[in-house]
Each structure stands twice: as structure tokens, then as C-alpha cells.
Homo-oligomer: A and B are copies of this chain.
């Protein structure tokens, strides 16, 4: 059996920024995050980007690539930091993380023409959410 990963606690900056993103009902952009944490002593873009990089790396948040924005993981602290799927409403910009066993199995097992398999992927679906339909 594989050794369990130790749960590294977040550092101060990482915790501040994670809390903010986690509370947000929508994906947050880096400079909006910066604006919101300046009262807590985080003053420079780099401090934000460094925390974001780390949080993405450990799977606590994900980056919505098409929007340059960050959202907290809602798959119980994602086992699949590197295998993400989202739905994005093109009208109200609501973003939802998709957790479908079927989908993740299909994609994890997908082989391209060369027989190549990919454990890491990012999928973004676009459409209209319930409200906007």
C-alpha cells in the first residue's frame, strides 16, 4: 500500500487567499483577489500568484483557463487536481465543477491515435445555465 500523503497545512498567505476564493460564489481573478486581501497585508501581485500556484498544485483550487479565474475545488479536496471538468454559462458566467465518474473514467481511459493515454486534462463545457435558459 502506498504511503499516505501528509496533509501539509496552508501557509498564512495561502490560507487567506484560499478562504477568499472558497467563500466566493464565483471564480475570482487574480487582481480581484489582490484587491480583497490588501487589508490583510498582501500587497503585491506576486504574493497572490505564488499562493495561487501552490493552491492549484495541491488541488485546493482550479484555474478556469478560458476565464483566467480561480475556483475552489468542490470534489472533496480534489483527488483529481489534474483532471478537471467545468460547465460555464456564457450568459451569467456561472461556473460549476463537474464530478462525473463516467466522464472522468472515459477521459482517463481515452487513447489518441497513437495509443497515448493522458492522466491529466482540463475540460470546459460552454452553454446556458438553468437560470439563463
Q: Chain A: residues with CB nearer than 8 A to chain B?
A: 65-66, 82, 87, 90, 96, 98, 100, 103, 106-107, 110, 112-114, 116-127, 129-130
Contact = CB atoms under 8 A, between A and B. Distances in A.
Nearest to A100: B112
A120 B125 contact: yes
Query: How many copies of the polypeptide does the oligomer hold?
Result: 2
Contacts of A87: 112, 116, 118
Given A65-B66, A66-B65, A106-B106, A118 B114 contact: no
Nearest to A122: B124
20 contacts: A65-B65, A65-B66, A65-B124, A66-B122, A82-B126, A103-B110, A107-B123, A107-B125, A110-B125, A112-B125, A114-B130, A118-B126, A120-B126, A120-B127, A121-B123, A121-B125, A122-B124, A122-B126, A123-B123, A123-B124
